[in-house]
Amino acid sequence: MASASSPLDTVVLTIAHSLSAVERTFYKLPGSAIIERYVRSSHQNDPGRTFLELIIFFLVVRTLLQSRTRADSNNAKNFIEFTEKEIDELVEDWVPEPLSRPLDDIEAAELAAVPVVAGPNGPHPTLVNTGKPAINLASLNFTGLANNEHIKQRALEAMRKYGVGSCGPTGFYGNFDVHIQCEKDIAEFLDTESAILYWQGFSTISSVIPAFCKRGDIIVVDRAVTLSIQKGMEISRSTIRWYDHNDLHSLEEVLQSVEKERRKRKGPLTRRFIITEGIFERDGTMTDLPKLIELKQKYKYRLILDESFSFGSVGRTGRGLTELYNVKLICSWVPVPLDYVLPVVSVLDLRMLLNTSVLMLPHMYSQLRCPRYWLLIIELH
Amino acid sequence: MALNRGSSPTSSIFKKQKHSPSSPPTAASYLSALSQADARARNAQRGTPTSTPALSLSSSLTTSTEDTVLTEEDGGNSDGLAIPVGKPPNSEQLYTTVHTEFGHCYNEEYRHISQHPQGAPVPRHVEQDPPYYILFSTYISYLILIVLGHLRDFLGKRFRAQSYKHLTPHDGYAPLNSDFDSFYTRRLKKRMDECFLQPVTGVAGRTISLLDRYTPDCNQTQIILDTRTRALNVSSYNYLGFAQARGGCADAVEESMKRYGVTSCGSRLEGGSTDLHTLAESVVAKFVGMEAAVISSMGFATNSTFIPALVSKGCLIISDELNHSSIRFGARSSGAHVRMFKHNDMEALESLLREAISQGQPKTHRPWKKILLIVEGMYSMEGTMVDLPSVLMLKEKYKFYLFVDEAHSIGAIGPHGRGVCDYFGVDPRKVDVLMGTFTKSFGASGGYLSGNKALIDRLRIRGYSGAYTEAIAPPVLTQIIASMASIMSIDDDGSVPGAIKLGLHPSSSSSTLHQVVDYPHPGPISQRALPHWLSLPLPLASGAEGLMRLRRLSFNSYYLHRGLDKLGFITYGHPSSPIVPLLLFNPAKMIMFHRMMKDRKTPIVIVVVAYPATPLVTSRVRFCVSASHTKEDIDSVLMACDEIGDVLDLKHGLSKGERWSIDEVCRRAVELVHIPDHEH
């Protein structure tokens, strides 16, 4: 008997020995007393509790180990397993559409009919297509400053001082003193707190909108706004509500319904914007600014007014709609591309009540790749 | 020193230490002593002939002497930037550029041809990891910054409600910026604002003039002073050194301003097209070796407005994970499905392609209409280059369309400067769409997209650019034409300038011009394809200067890249890329590195980039070398990095035994540059 039980005894003894060794090492570890106390207090002679704790512990470990870059769980359902050979066959079979269709006759004729000016553009340019002079009712040169000799001269001086390109984005040594001066001059001209230059008219509003409007924000917008505004809204992923073109009654109805929805939902206050154009690019209609401002203030919206076509063309001294209607905008923004009035520059002008402008500018700069260009806004005065 | 004016407490500590040499050597005092020694050495080396170059040349040059001796108004050479150091030039060497804009470097040894050896494998991008304590301290620093930031927000909102008004709802308006969205800007970026938005003046060439500024209230406001500091510029995208206010290109721009004015009044389709636009497009197409090209007035918008015209719903865009945000913007607004693959990883790309083609569109499993692969020729934050030969091999098998964004590679790499196709010796027409910008290498602005004629004509009428964005301005066009022509070299084929009728129409121009100009691809351009009034000086027209620019740029890129490697730094990217990222990791080192570089005797301005442009831990300095830098300029950048690297503990690349000393690097520069890629 003794001989039979001895190997069993040895095993039991070894286990007991190693267990006590583990226990001793455990108590030697710093902080082990805390763990012990925790386990004891949670156990409280109830194995169910320990079991529950263990489940929670394993769940936590599992969550931590799970890959953060989860494979598309939606796709996983739809995923079809193929063998390598089948994939090769599918690849072989796949015929993509051509990258572009060649132009058909109508489109080609359309492209051929695009006027091309020989030499400088102006009110009476010569056309390459016909070789004859024409009266220009197509170009955007409202103030006729395009070929102003004085501006040319000043631009030349600037070129001889700064070169042509600024070779860097604003953040990284592309912020020239002329840019700063120009922004200051524009802000002063429009009587606003500050202004910021963008390199291209189209990109101005389409990068400004996503800089402020985020997912969950509400944009109420005219149905006939220009494409750059539409693109900006698309990128912003905000909730978009449309109102009838230039119809402020329709706008008010939309504003009321948004307000009603918000009350029903009892959600947190989100940013709300009205976006419209001063003079519409599509049909040249003009927004009734005083009424718009009244509505905006009543319903507490921020207004983004695209003055691409009204800046420099209406108002006693060309300051746009605000001058025409003699109103002062507070805490709204008016983007005005200058390129139609003056050379090669676009402007966003921030009408800010608060001192937030400084804080937001870098954010918007970061969306720009291209450098800004010099401009002599002094000529406007 | 002027740049120590930053009112943060650290800089005042600096000053004190500088004045008490008896104090135990600290990082800052050590650094300033070294930089002073460096300046002394420069002065001694220059010796007596310092002022002679300009004088000795004044006899041989008459009209251009004005330009030659011209330096900035502040005149002096205390920073060692206005007058070239080293050997005085001999009488055969003419100064055609202003040294502060484009450095004088006549040593023909300091040239290198940027070319991929045929058949050699493309080196893979290897990410070197720093020691664990660096990673650990980086995470800890960010943790401290984030915790402190949130604590300040929490307390600030309760006790200083007035200054947090813009983050809380008021008068029924929601805050314009939510505190969560703007947290990074307010609490992390704001602390290092001295590295960004530096106001500058003059030409952003080899040197740049900084308007000194200081902040009285921890970067809430920046006050610009009247004084200026000239600094060595290794931060502008001026790869070929065309940022010049003088010289052949600038003269051409002046001529065009007189002829065409400064604006083109409108969009391309609506009365803003001039003959110059048509011409510029054909020059661009010729330069990149494609059938036709369309240009747009802004680089960012080239991607964001033309990509939606290429693909639509039912198409798939496969995009490299490090692609520029303009590509993401364009892809997002196109409506196509977008998938990303691991940066430059061809296996990942292939398995993604196999999956995408075999599975088809999500849910419906219909085959994709088109698959467009978008990669960049050179990645702006990493300096890595796309493995074009492998991509083209995949393209043959998987039949996707290839879009290469050459924003940083066009002009910068390749033996003829024609970008990544030229570098690998690949026919550019194997690529479907080549996109690029004029900002980086050509000293202009705007972007182009080139491809076959049918595609480009389609883009002209379908891209929003055509109808909605203003056409590029004539002076900018001229800068593009002149700089590209000078790299291509002009072939004066006996035609009488002005005899041919200019301003062909978009739809007919490229075909007719193409017949006229039928040279082998990286070849010269005919004088007839250029505006008749454009006359470039001989060094530019013959292509000699263009070639010199390309080779100097390649030498500088290789030298800085390999020099930093040999000194023991961790760098990323391909050695022929003019973008050289040097990894810093810790966020605080970014400001210190920036400040220490700027406060040297010869100030150097650099760009530091951090999250979100890079992953959180790998903050970096990004040097952009240029053909306008001389070998001595790169020497001084290396010296500065060597000193600062010791102080800031940045050398975690090569092990100590394999490193070279800074003297050895400078002495053996030529040897270093000519080590073949695979042996380095």
Q: pLDDT of A349-371, one tens digit each?
A: 332 222 222 222 222 333 232 23
Contact (CB<8Å) B445/A97 = no
Contact (CB<8Å) A121/B357 = no
| A142 pLDDT tier (thresholds 50, 70, 90) | confident
Dump pLDDT digits (tens) for B57-69: 333 333 333 344 4
**pLDDT score for B72:** 44
pLDDT surpassing 90 at residue A322: no
Selection from A171-185, A265-279, B229-243 with the highest mean pLDDT: B229-243
Contact (CB<8Å) A370/B446 = yes
pLDDT surpassing 80 at residue B126: no
- DSSP conformational letter for B597: H
* Ranges of each domain in chain A: 85-142, 148-379
**pLDDT score for A155:** 85
Of all residues in chain A, the percent with pLDDT exceeding 90 is 15
**pLDDT score for B275:** 93
pLDDT surpassing 70 at residue A158: yes
Contact (CB<8Å) B257/A203 = no
Of all residues in chain B, the percent with pLDDT exceeding 90 is 55
**Chain A residue at shortest CA distance from B352:** A87
Between these two residues, A74 and A144, which has the higher pLDDT value?
A144
**pLDDT score for B31:** 56
pTM of the shown model: 0.81
Chain A contacts in chain B segment 484-513 (CB below 8 A):
502-508
Q: Which residue out of B192, B232, B262 would a mutagenesis test of the A interface target, given it has the greatest number of A Cβ atoms within 10 Å? A: B262
Contact (CB<8Å) B182/A203 = no
Mean pLDDT of B525-535: 90
Between these two residues, B30 and A127, which has the higher pLDDT value?
A127
Q: Residue B72 and residue B649: Cα distance in Å, rounded?
A: 36
**pLDDT score for A5:** 61
pLDDT surpassing 70 at residue B70: no
Mean pLDDT rounded to a whole number for chain B: 83
Mean pLDDT of B657-665: 93
ipTM of the complex: 0.82
Mean pLDDT of B193-222: 90
Q: A221 pairs with which residues across the strands?
A: A242, A275
Contact (CB<8Å) B300/A271 = no
Contact (CB<8Å) B504/A212 = no
Nearest to A101 among B101, B270, B458 (CB): B458
Contact (CB<8Å) A79/B359 = yes
Between these two residues, A46 and B149, which has the higher pLDDT value?
B149
**pLDDT score for B558:** 95
Chain B contacts in chain A segment 220-239 (CB below 8 A):
226-228, 231, 234-235
**pLDDT score for B249:** 93
In the Cβ-directed half-sphere of A55, how many Cα atoms lie within 13 Å?
A: 6
Which residues in chain B have their CB less than 8 angstroms from residue A161's CB? 202-203, 245
Query: What φ, ψ does residue B375 adopt, rounded to 5°?
Result: -130, 165
Which residues in chain A have their CB less than 8 angstroms from residue B166's CB? 354-356, 359
**Chain B residue at shortest CA distance from A229:** B468
What value, to the nearest 5°, has the Cα angle with vertex B235 and ends B234 and B241?
Answer: 70
What angle, 0 to 180 degrees and rounded to 10, lies between the N-to-C axes of helices A105-112 and B506-516?
Answer: 90
**pLDDT score for B112:** 93
pLDDT surpassing 60 at residue B18: no
Which residues in chain A have their CB less than 8 angstroms from residue B278's CB? 116, 128
Query: Nearest CA to CA, how far is B357 from chain A (Å)?
Result: 6
In this complex, is the C-beta atom of B227 within 8 Å of any C-beta atom belonging to chain A? no
Chain B contacts in chain A segment 160-189 (CB below 8 A):
160-168, 170-178, 180
What value, to the nearest 5°, has the Cα angle with vertex A233 and ends B375 and B296?
Answer: 45
Chain A contacts in chain B segment 32-91 (CB below 8 A):
none
Dump pLDDT digits (tens) for B633-646: 999 999 999 999 99
Chain B contacts in chain A segment 330-369 (CB below 8 A):
331, 337, 339-340, 342-344, 354-356, 358-360, 362-363, 365, 367-369
**pLDDT score for B11:** 42
**pLDDT score for B124:** 77
Contact (CB<8Å) A136/B201 = no
pLDDT surpassing 70 at residue B15: no
**pLDDT score for A137:** 83
pLDDT surpassing 60 at residue B170: yes
Which residues contact residue B140 at a Cβ distance below 8 angstroms, ignoring those fewer than 6 apart? Answer: none
Token code pair at residue B485: 């022509």
Q: Which fold has domain A148-379?
A: Aspartate Aminotransferase; domain 2 (3.40.640)
| B42 pLDDT tier (thresholds 50, 70, 90) | low
Dump pLDDT digits (tens) for A13-23: 899 999 998 88
Dump pLDDT digits (tens) for B372-423: 999 999 998 889 999 999 999 999 999 999 999 999 999 999 999 999 999 9
| B352 pLDDT tier (thresholds 50, 70, 90) | very high
In this complex, is the C-beta atom of A90 within 8 Å of any C-beta atom belonging to chain B? yes
| B29 pLDDT tier (thresholds 50, 70, 90) | low
In this complex, is the C-beta atom of B620 within 8 Å of any C-beta atom belonging to chain A? no
**pLDDT score for B598:** 94
Which residues in chain A have their CB less than 8 angstroms from residue B236's CB? 167-168, 172-174
Contact (CB<8Å) B454/A102 = yes
Which residues in chain A have their CB less than 8 angstroms from residue B262's CB? 146, 151-152, 155, 343-344
**What is the SS3 assignment for chain A?**
CHHHHHHHHHHHHHHHHHHHHHHHHHHHCCCHHHHHHHHHHHHCCCHHHHHHHHHHHHHHHHHHHCCCCCCCHHHHHHCCCCCHHHHHHHHHHCCCCCCCCCCCHHHHHHHHCCCEEECCCCCCCEECCCCCECCCCCCCCCCCCCCCHHHHHHHHHHHHHHCCCCCCCCCCCCEEHHHHHHHHHHHHHCCCCEEEEECCHHHHHHHHHHHHCCCCCEEEEECCCCHHHHHHHHHHCCEEEEECCCCHHHHHHHHHHHHHHHHHHCCCCCCEEEEEECECCCCCCECCHHHHHHHHHHHCCEEEEECCCCCCCCCCCCCCHHHHHCCCCCCCEEEEECCCCCCCCEEEEECCCCCCHHHHHHHHHCCCCCCCCCCCHHHHC
pLDDT surpassing 70 at residue B90: no
**pLDDT score for B88:** 60
Instruction: Report the 10 Å Cβ neighbour count for B369.
Output: 15
Between these two residues, A50 and B373, which has the higher pLDDT value?
B373
Contact (CB<8Å) A75/B362 = yes
Query: Nearest CA to CA, how far is B436 from chain A (Å)?
Result: 12
| A209 pLDDT tier (thresholds 50, 70, 90) | confident
**pLDDT score for A349:** 30
Query: Nearest CA to CA, how far is B502 from chain A (Å)?
Result: 8
**Chain B residue at shortest CA distance from A164:** B444
Mean pLDDT of B548-558: 95
**pLDDT score for B10:** 41
Chain A contacts in chain B segment 633-662 (CB below 8 A):
none
